[in-house]
Each structure stands twice: as C-alpha cells, then as structure tokens.
Homo-oligomer: A and B are copies of this chain.
Amino acid sequence: MSKRRDTLKLGLFLRATGHHVAAWRHPGAQADAGIRIEHYQALARQAEAAGFDTLFLADSVGVRGIDSPVFDRLIAPHLTFEPLTLLAALATVTRRIGLIATASTSYSEPYNLARQFASLDQISGGRIGWNLVTSSDAASAHNFGGSGQAAHADRYARAREFQQVVDKLWDSWEDDALLLDRDAGLFLDRAKRHFTEHRGEHFQVRGPLNVLRSPQGKPVLVQAGASEDGRELAAATAEVVFAAHQSLHDAQAFYRDLKGRAQALGRNPEHLKILPGVTIFTGASEAAAQAKHRELQELVQPEVGRELLSGLLGGVDLSHLSLDAPLPRDLPLSNASRSRQELIQKLADEGLSLRQLYLRLAGARGHWTLVGSAEQVVDQLEAWFQGYGADGFNILPPTYPEGLDDFITFVLPELRRRGLVRQGDYEGRTLREHLGLPYPQHPAARRGQEAVA
C-alpha cells in the first residue's frame, strides 16, 4: 500500500482532571477543575496553539455511578459544566479550533437541540460539531419520566428520526436568505425560507428554525456508536466517528466495515473520518513514561477499580468476586453498550484477573493506551494511520494539564517531523475545512444547479 497523502486529524477529549480514573488524586491536578471555567479555557487555548483540529466534550444527563457505593470516590468528572454552555464559553476564547459537544437524542427535542447547535455554530464562526449519542446509562433515564431506559433498538429508532429532523431544521434558510434592504424595507427573501413540515413517528416539527445557516453550512455530525444500529446510523449520516479499539486489527476491521457501509450507501468514504481514542503516557524516555504510568496506577483505589469495571459492563454486580481471580465467562449482558462488554469479555478470556482488568481499563475506559517514548508512541500512531485503522486520533490525556503538556512537548514534534500532521497554521477557518469535509450545500441550491446543468 502506498503512503497516505492526507494528514492525520487530531481531536482532544477534554475531561476535568483527565481520563485516568485516579487523575484527580494526582499531585499535579487541580482536583476541582471540573467547575473551573479558566481551567477549560486554558486547555482550549493551549490545544489551539498546538494546532489540534478539534476539542471534544462527552456527556451524560445524569450522574453516572450515583448508585455506586463508592460514587463519592469516583465522581470527579461527572459534576461539571453542561457541554453546550461550556462550548459557547470556549468558543469566545478561541479562534480556529473545532468544538464538538455530545448531546443525546433520547431526552431532548430536536428543535431545541438543532437550535442550540446552530446558535453555537454562529457564535463560533462555523467550528461546531455534534456528537450524537443515544445515552447508554440508565441513570439518565430516571431524570426524564418514570418509564425507565428505552431499549437499545428503540433508542436508535428515535435517534434516526431525531437526526433527520435536526438536519432539515438546519436547512430552514438558504445561505443567502438575508437581503437587508433598508430602502425597500425587506429584511429577507421569502423564497429562501423552508418549512420543515416533519410528521414522523416520534416527532412533528413544523419549522423553520429561528437561527440562520452558519459559516460552515451546518455543524459537523459526529457519532460514537459501535453496535450494528450505531454503525448503520454512522455510515448513513456521520462525518466523524469516534471509536475505541485495543488493537490495530480491530481498528482496521472497524474502519473497513464503516467505510464500506458508507460507500454502499453512495457516500464518499473520505467524507467520514474515523478517530479512535488513545491515552498516551510519554516523557523524555521510555522509563520516564513508565514511571508516570505507574504513579497513576498506584493511585487507583481497589473499590473504585471494581466499580469502574462494573460500570463498563453496564452495571453488572461484581462485589462478590475476588480481585485476584479471573472474571467469570458467563456474565449477563445488559441493555447498555454492547461493544464495551464484548471488549471486556475478550480481555477476560485472556485470563486477566479483576485487578488486572481494571488496571488495564482505568486509564482510558476501553480506549487504547500507549506508554513509551515519543518515537515509540508515534511508531504506533503511524502504523494505525498508514494501516488504515484510523484517519486520526482522539487524544485522551491521562491527566490535565500534565498529560496534554507531555503530548505537545514530546509526541507532536515527532508527528510533525514525520509529516504525519499538518505543518503550519490551520488551513481554513471552519471545522469542516480543518477536517477536509465538504460544505453541505442547501438542497434548494443543489436543485438549482442540477436544473442549470
């Protein structure tokens, strides 16, 4: 296979004190970073100065782990700002970096969500992305009525229709709808207004949206679902997909599968970027990296590790199991994330004990973890990129700010030296331009061009 000519895309997954479950106990951490707006703003500025294509904020509409007996030991990242308001606060202190927030289709209305994302896209000058999720955690469901969490398939059915409505709402106004003709007294061109008129199973929405099209046409659609339903939705609609893999082999299989599905649906697979997550421990040498990793692993409380594993398995009770025995092979599957469960089951099949398992997953919660010198780390990243397992990476620093400092100090220069990332300043102004995604022409404009051709 010839060398890829595109460069790899870099996302930075923001998360209070960092991604490692013990990050808040690290001596370098500001333990209450989750409610310090200056902390997030400083990270956003730092990421922009380093040239990251985008930031990413996860979300959950409830306190994950609130029923856990150890919630008071692990709650650090779950009491923080709400992502859309936080994104606005980050947009105003940055100028180029993309800004992606997660929002669930299960507990809100398409009009409200379409509107807030469109507004953010205006505020940021076209730098916004929406990570569409269906909320796999049960805690969220209890905050929205008494009927509990909807089944996986039902969540995705709602998500599909939700996304269609949002997309139509974002086309409420053509790009050049504003006339601003003071003399004639005409504010806009009525021919460029489009009612949504959606009547579906879950939603009835008339439109139009009360926000105009933004500089990048509409926000970038991101997805992170890994199930069959999740992949189908991503193949049909997503422009960026976050993934979680532990091996190049798995990454390649997912990459091939998703790009193939997109192509089968008539899409250009290059307009769907796949970014697996990776947690990196690095330093001036391999030994330094190992020491940083060890330091953090030693801060994991056993009761927290057990809980984390239970959470990744969708709430399965592990309290009666010994930490040093292997995980049983016949754990019940839950209604939550299938792919995470399969991953853990696979590791358990290798004979890992509970303690080994939680230590393996503590740092990155199912994401790939690299520990090594810059050269060792970049060898791996390059192999995944050149091997078509990734179009780039979603970087999950184990700690903030240290983990990000280390990535910027050690890994980024090596990526640049090898020509794997873009050399200079941002190429464009919008997130679409950073990622090499096309401008989504308004359907009416497309029809107009076809009529002319």
Contact = CB atoms under 8 A, between A and B. Distances in A.
Interface of A: 24-25, 27, 31-32, 35, 37, 41, 60-63, 66, 71-76, 78-82, 84-89, 91-93, 107-109, 111-112, 115-116, 118-120, 122-123, 142-146, 173, 178-180, 182, 185-190, 193, 199, 203-212, 301, 304
Nearest to A103: B112
A325 to B, nearest CB: 24
Most buried by B among A88, A111, A186: A88
State how many copies of this chain the complex holds. 2
B107 A112 contact: yes
A133 B150 CA distance: 30
A107 B207 CA distance: 14
A278 to B, nearest CB: 26
Contact of A71 (B93, B122, B179, B190): B190
A138 B64 CA distance: 38
Most buried by B among A115, A193, A210: A210
Most buried by B among A112, A120, A187: A187
Contacts of A72: 179, 186-190, 193
Given A107-B112, A207-B143, A182 B31 contact: yes
Most buried by B among A85, A123, A209: A85
A108 B119 contact: no
A80 B178 contact: no
B204 A146 contact: yes
Contact of A82 (B108, B193, B211): B211
Contact of A85 (B61, B80, B81, B84): B84
Contact of A146 (B80, B89, B193, B199): B199
Nearest to A24: B187
B188 A86 contact: no
Contacts of A190: 71-72
20 contacts: A25-B182, A37-B92, A60-B210, A61-B112, A62-B206, A72-B193, A73-B185, A79-B211, A80-B210, A82-B116, A84-B84, A85-B88, A86-B119, A86-B123, A108-B108, A108-B112, A109-B144, A111-B143, A143-B206, A146-B204
A185 B118 CA distance: 41
Contacts of A61: 111-112, 115, 210
A240 to B, nearest CB: 21
